Structure 1
Amino acid sequence: MDKFQAFGKNFKDSFMPVAARTGQYFREQLGQVDDKTELPPDYIELEKRIDALKQVHQKMLSVTSQYTHEAYDYPTNIRESFNDLGRTVSEKVSLLSNANSPAEAAAAMTAPPAAKPQPKTLSHALARASLNSSHTLTQNSASGGSASGGGGEDPLATALENYAVASEKVGEARLAQDAAIQARFLAGWSTTLNTNLQFATRARKQVENARLSLDAAKARAKSGGAGFGGMGQKRDGGVMDEEHLSEEARAEIEAKEDEFVAQTEEAVGVMKNVRTVMLSGKWFWFADVDVQVLDTPEPLRNLAELIAAQLEYHKKAFEILSELAPVVDQLQVEQEASYRKSREGQ
């Protein structure tokens, strides 16, 4: 019997508060509640700032998370073979330079693959396509069994080979950029969104639960004390008259008010701390610090890291292509001169 009574008490203690909150919530949603306990203005302001912070992280991460996918710029319409992805362009160029016959050059292009497949990026794909094109031209222009390094090189083949090497370097720079962004930007912002902001979400939920419990208790008192054994009576206009509340009703409402105030104060502290914690990875407790002091530079620091990684990538790409451009320009000038000379001799 004692166990049954204990079970009944535990069930009542755990179920009744949830039922009261749920009932109050649905009455509010149906417009059956005339008044609700108001939240403090500073709490509402903090909620707006936290919501804005969450939206910023979601929007930025929805785009920048692409940096975690190697093939975000890889052409979807190409089909590269196992041999295409087997060795780096640089390795194949080295093998081609040591080839002494067309057969050896062909073997260099189909050399056994390395342990790791080559990256699938636009720049790497361009590199592989350019080298394959260069090899095709070399095979067809070779005469007398000369290898790819022979004296009768095709200018376009040479330019394509140089472009292949440069494109692979650009691709490697892009991968380095992606790794830097993942480590210095995405890691911090993802932690904030998926972990640190959850502290604020849970604290705000506790405040909402406390408010619903308080308003549910007030509603019972207003309706005549249902559930409290005559704790109060419904007064004119439906306004609760505290003088007619029973001690039990008054005590419960006061307890609910204390809980609501305590949960609100705790949530304010948590939300302020989220502003401090959000990207630093550490907790700092400043219960009485003004909110403006908590506008840390961490988001800008991480954004600066994102920009720095992009800048480094574009700088390297510029340097690589700047070295390549005059080489290809010179090949073009020489080919045009040779073409004009051949036309003049006709």
Structure 2
Amino acid sequence: MDNFKAFGSQLSSIGSQITPFASRTFQYTKEQLGQAEDKTQLPPDYIDLEKRVDALKQVHQKMLAVTSQYSNEAYDYPPNIKETFQDLGRTVSEKVHLLSSATSPAEAQAALTAPPSAKPQPKTFNHALARASLSSSQLLHQQHTGAGEDPLATALEKYALASERVGEARLAQDTQIQSRFLAGWNTTLNTNLMFATRARKNVERSRLTLDSVKSRAKGTTWKIGGAAPRDDQALSSDELSPEAQEEIEKAEDEFVTQTEEAVSVMKNVLDTPEPLRNLAELIAAQVEYHKKAYEILSELQPVIEGLQVEQEASRTKDFSL
């Protein structure tokens, strides 16, 4: 038992001489082991702000984990598609223009495999659909031997052009989301919330410093095996020396200052309308894309239906002869 007392006295002596960082670490360890006599409690309002900030941080992490896909061009590109360098060489509209001037199957094939005019074409679902539709259209055109054009081949070519336009609209949407939503939410997560985290750490450091100063000034030692200190070992606040009282008051002032600063930072993070503004921008970009896609396909639909009606009428006429 005497050895335990001696060990506790040694720790107390060390605690009065070590650096502020070591004192905080010493105090933190005591608290984790349930050896701290008193722990300064944070105000309930402060605890509530911490919980709200933690929730906001989780919201940003969850949303960004999904919406960050808008930075990945190929997020909807079919994984089973095997497109060649030639397939990705030119846009569908460029290939259609080259095909329009082709006078033979060889020239048509050359138009389809023309070397790239710029960077490889986008790997999105709609772009892939456009390329597949145009390639299918040309397969039908090459094998068509009847009068006029193959109606399905014509329809597929028009669908290819429309699909490419939808794909371009999707890329425009993604660019808007990257700049108007992702950038803002990443800033909130990596800057504003980081400032709040830093302010909270300052509060915790100042609290540990305050409690370590109180513990040292009042003579509270490290307890071994849960043994409580004797009543004559701990001093009351009235028995503290002027120097000890001054040190405690200084630590209390710092704790109050850091707490007030953290409250201000956390309220600012919680009250800023920026995340909601960014979310509105995300929705606006999605609306613009879907509206554009609707307009493109709505324009195409009656054209395809007209080709269908014409083919059915021609088929009926052939059967009636």
Which band: TM-score by shorter chain?
A: 0.7 to 0.9
* 1:262 pairs with 2:257: yes
Whole-angstrom distance in 2 between the partners of 1:27 and 1:13: 15
State the superposition RMSD in angstroms: 2.3
Whole-angstrom distance in 1 between the partners of 2:50 and 2:235: 30
* 1:200 pairs with 2:176: no
- In structure 2, give the amino acid aligned to 1:62: A
With normalisation by structure 2, the TM-score equals 0.87
Whole-angstrom distance in 2 between the partners of 1:36 and 1:238: 19
Q: Name the counterpart of 2:167.
A: 171
* 1:132 pairs with 2:132: no
Whole-angstrom distance in 2 between the partners of 1:53 and 1:202: 16
Whole-angstrom distance in 2 between the partners of 1:268 and 1:72: 40
Whole-angstrom distance in 2 between the partners of 1:129 and 1:64: 28
Whole-angstrom distance in 1 between the partners of 2:188 and 2:50: 16
Structure 1 residues 236 and 157 mapped into 2: Cα distance closer, same or farther (>3 Å)? same
Whole-angstrom distance in 2 between the partners of 1:37 and 1:209: 12
Q: Name the counterpart of 2:59.
A: 56
Q: Name the counterpart of 1:252.
A: 247
* 1:46 pairs with 2:42: no
Aligned length: 301
Q: Is the 8 A contact 1:43 1:268 kept in 2?
A: yes
Give the % identical residues. 71
Question: Which residues of 2 match residues 295-310 of structure 1 at below 5 A?
Answer: 295-310=271-286
* 1:71 pairs with 2:61: no
- In structure 1, give the amino acid aligned to 2:314: S
Q: Is the 8 A contact 1:99 1:105 kept in 2?
A: yes
How far did 1:225 drift?
7.2
Q: Name the counterpart of 2:105.
A: 102
| Unaligned stretches of 5+ residues in structure 2 | 1-14, 223-228
Whole-angstrom distance in 2 between the partners of 1:183 and 1:14: 53
Q: Name the counterpart of 1:338.
A: 314
Q: Is the 8 A contact 1:235 1:241 kept in 2?
A: no
Q: Larger relative CO (CA 8 A, sep 6+): 1 or 2?
A: 2
Whole-angstrom distance in 1 between the partners of 2:308 and 2:45: 69
Q: Name the counterpart of 1:215.
A: 211
Q: Name the counterpart of 1:312.
A: 288
- In structure 2, give the amino acid aligned to 1:188: G
How far did 1:183 drift?
1.3
How far did 1:302 drift?
1.8
Aligned to 1:39, the other structure's residue is in SS state: coil
Moved more, 214-223 or 18-27: 214-223
